[in-house]
Amino acid sequence: MPEYKAPLRDIKFVMNELLDSETHYANLENAEDATPDMVDAIIQEGAKFAEQVLSPLNPVGDNEGCTWSEDGVTTPTGFKEAYNQFVEGGWPSLAADPNYGGQGLPSSLGIVMSEMNGTANWAWGMYPGLSHGAINTIEAHGTEEQKQTYLTKMISGEWTGTMCLTEAHCGSDLGTLRTKAEPNDDGSYSLTGTKIFISAGEHDMTDNIVHIVLARLPGAPSGTKGISLFIVPKRLPAEDGSAGDRNAVSCGSIEHKMGIHGNATCVINFDGAKGWLIGPENRGLNCMFTFMNVARIGTAIQGLGAAELGFQGSLAYAKERLAMRSLSGPKNPDGIADPIIVHPDVRRMLLTQKAVAEGARALIYLTAQKADLVERAKAEEDRKAADELLGFLTPIAKAFLTEIGYEAANLGLQVFGGHGYISEWGMEQNVRDARIGMIYEGTTGIQALDLLGRKVLMTQGESLKSFTKQVHLFCKENADNEQLKEFVEPLAEINKEWGELTTKIGMNAMKNREEVGAASVDYLMYSGYAVFAYLWARMAKIAQEKLAEGDSEEQFYSAKLQTARFYFTRMLPRTKTHAATMLAGADTLLDMPEDNFAL
């Protein structure tokens, strides 16, 4: 397993040079503590924790996995101790509400911590990671009593949280869920049902786990309009606020799965468990979207982490592994062969991983800033604009980044050749761990329908226009920049084509609604490459300016510019295939009778 090294220089490049975090934080309400010195100190300490504590536990979690018994789940060796260090360091409270024990720093700073922790050890990072969504949901929709009872403990890290949606017969189609909630005389509810695939649903790291559960009230409307949301703790809060008597919540089993062995994926049984309604009756799915949107950005980080870890491991190997000679002559004449990094195809794989990881970081941090603005912008119009753009970018970030992050993880393994398939190097673990990202929080297909159907077509393209206008402005401002021409011209072209393709799909959908589903995944992937093109063009501009100034970090900026050039010439052309495919029509998918699929 590669030893994770936090890419601090690139993290600071994206935060400070690309997205100007100092100005961004200064323009937020109640973010005075997010000074450059404070932010830098937090990132430095966070990097140490990820590198020195979490990274060494990554193979341990994979090898040992979690252990189930009737008493609960035991996490791998060192996981609980690492969590205690995490809590002692105050990390769970970093971006939480000060009214409930939080430090009040912007959530985008917490995203940086999530990236480092997740890349170092994704299985471990999911335990506190699931709590963030639960915390945000209670903050947004809970009563003051619920906040005082649960938020203080969860923000401190004493308790963790989960989201309980999926049932054995329903995944993304939550309208068919069967878990019931019967009202009790004391204002609470009795929940009965079984949820599956509950990440971090049971463990030994905290005294209590707070489940956020979707269920139906008696007489509720059918479908998604009849779903309510409940807080159901593993242990009922005692009068002094501690974890008291055990609730009727149990872990029936844990899944034996492809990867992320160090995190328990649980079957959770609610056998008349006591819970409390959160938010209005029959509006649970709307409230749960607070949790799901946070989780989607969290899952996008998994794509970034898979690419970054794969790149770090395969880069080190490519510099050391000797095999064959360069076609243009020996590059290591004193050795038996050249290091494989000299070969063009190995360069292709390394540069793809690098372009994916650095582009993903830029996109995730951009969405994180938009989330900051939704929460803390001083002007209402800024909050509204940020919310619209965040809604548009979220399905792209979640689905596109997990798709290409998994591709990058596979390329990391491929650089090792046969050694990559052997567990001792850790690259096959990275591939296994990354695979679930395309399924978590709604599959790529679900995200694509959300993007094309809900976010674009249902708004008559307004959400798309809010982004393409920014791209158009960038291209217009830099149209006369000869050095930037190689980036601006193809960016302007794809930005224009993006709108044209959207119009064509919309016209096709007016005749046959199935055209939306037929085109959606290719549309999402095209959109992801287009967003990356915009971000890479901006990063290229910064690099060119720094090089022109004679900056002392010439190597860093040269690498950034060269990676941008690789992206535009070697990855952006993928959009041509996606454009052709999304317009190919639904007929080739739907004309074949079901019986013709038979073997």
For the annotated catalytic residues, the residue numbers are: 441
Q: Report the alpha-carbon distance of residue 245 to residue 230 in Å, rounded.
A: 19
Place of tokens 């195809």: 345
Fill in the amino acid letter for 574. R
What's the maximum distance between 2 C-alpha atoms anywhere in the chain?
84
| b/e burial code for range 11-48 (CB count within 10 A of at least 16 → b) | bebbbebbbebeebbeebeebeebeeeebeebbeebbe
Q: Is 9 exposed, middle or buried (0-12, 13-18, 19+ CB in 10 A)?
A: exposed
For residues 519 and 501, is the Cβ–Cβ distance under 8 A? Answer: no
Q: Report the alpha-carbon distance of residue 101 to residue 271 in Å, rounded.
A: 33
Which residues make beta-bridge pairs with 162? Answer: 211
| b/e burial code for range 107-135 (CB count within 10 A of at least 16 → b) | bbbbbbbbbbbbbbbbbbbbbbbbbbbbb
Q: How many angstroms separate the Cα of 253 from the Cα of each of 114, 167, 201, 256, 576? A: 28, 14, 10, 9, 46
Q: Report the alpha-carbon distance of residue 125 to residue 110 in Å, rounded.
A: 12
Q: What is the DSSP string of 358-418?
A: HHHHHHHHHHHHHHHHHHHBSSHHHHHHHHHHHHHHHHHHHHHHHHHHHHHHHHHHHHTGG
For residues 177 and 192, is the Cβ–Cβ distance under 8 A? Answer: no
For residues 261 and 435, is the Cβ–Cβ distance under 8 A? Answer: no
Q: Report the alpha-carbon distance of residue 224 to residue 314 in Å, rounded.
A: 46
Q: What is the DSSP string of 295-324?
A: HHHHHHHHHHHHHHHHHHHHHHHHHH-B-S
CA 383 to chain centre: 22
